[in-house]
């Protein structure tokens, strides 16, 4: 894998009511990100998580209703089919302290969210289909 360097870091508050994955992707695109990472904290009014079933190479979604804290969100930005693509995993917590985690999917409505983006400079990392896993993985 190629060596990368930090080019810049920017912070953004995402808007209440937006889809979390879409808002993160939009923020990354608005800064011209092609390579980088994202971290976020905040809360959502409901969430959709994905779990990858390795046996049949497909995602199963889990829907969580009600207010949840974003305990941790971490992801990366690389290229998929020539466009910037945000891949993130997230952990949510409920009012009793239970945690739920998985792949961030569309369908998580922001209550409040603060995100930190780290933009890298270096050769593009491109996602291509991987036959062994069924996933789109980096080739650099």
Q: How far apart are CA 3 and CA 82, in angstroms?
A: 20
Q: How many domains does the chain have?
A: 1
Q: Which two tokens stand for residue 61?
A: 């979604």
Summarize pLDDT for 79-128 with one digit per residue, the tens.
999 999 999 999 999 999 999 999 999 999 999 999 999 999 999 999 99
Give a yes or no: residue 107 inside a domain: yes
Q: How far apart are CA 120 and CA 33, in angstroms?
A: 8
Mean pLDDT, residues 54-82: 97
- Residue 82 CB-density burial (10 A; 0-12 exposed, 13-18 middle, 19+ buried): exposed
Give a yes or no: residue 85 inside a domain: yes
- Is the predicted pLDDT of residue 62 greater than 70, yes or no? yes
User: Domain range holding 52?
Assistant: 5-135
Q: What is the total residue count of the chain?
A: 140
Mean pLDDT, residues 52-65: 96
Domain CATH for 118: 3.30.1330.80
Q: What is the pLDDT of residue 102?
A: 98
State the pLDDT confidence band at 31, using cuts at 50, 70 and 90. very high
Give a yes or no: residue 84 inside a domain: yes
Give a yes or no: residue 140 inside a domain: no
Q: What is the pLDDT of residue 2?
A: 81
Q: What is the pLDDT of residue 139?
A: 85
Mean pLDDT, residues 67-72: 98
Mean pLDDT, residues 11-27: 98
pTM of the model: 0.94
Q: What is the pLDDT of residue 140?
A: 57
Mean pLDDT, residues 3-20: 97
Give a yes or no: residue 19 inside a domain: yes
């Amino acid at each position: 894998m190629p060596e990368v360097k930090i080019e810049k870091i920017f912070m953004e508050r995402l808007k209440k009511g937006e889809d979390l994955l879409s808002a993160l992707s939009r923020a990354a695109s608005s800064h011209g990100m092609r390579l980088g990472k994202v971290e976020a904290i905040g809360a959502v009014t409901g969430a959709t998580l994905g779990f990858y079933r390795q046996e049949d190479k497909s995602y199963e979604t889990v829907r969580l209703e009600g207010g949840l804290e974003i305990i941790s969100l971490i992801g990366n930005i690389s290229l998929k089919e020539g466009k910037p693509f945000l891949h993130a995993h997230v952990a949510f917590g409920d009012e009793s302290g239970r945690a739920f985690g998985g792949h961030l999917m569309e369908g998580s409505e922001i209550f409040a969210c603060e995100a930190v983006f780290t933009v890298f400079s270096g050769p593009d990392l491109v996602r291509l289909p991987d036959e062994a896993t069924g996933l789109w993985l980096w080739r650099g």
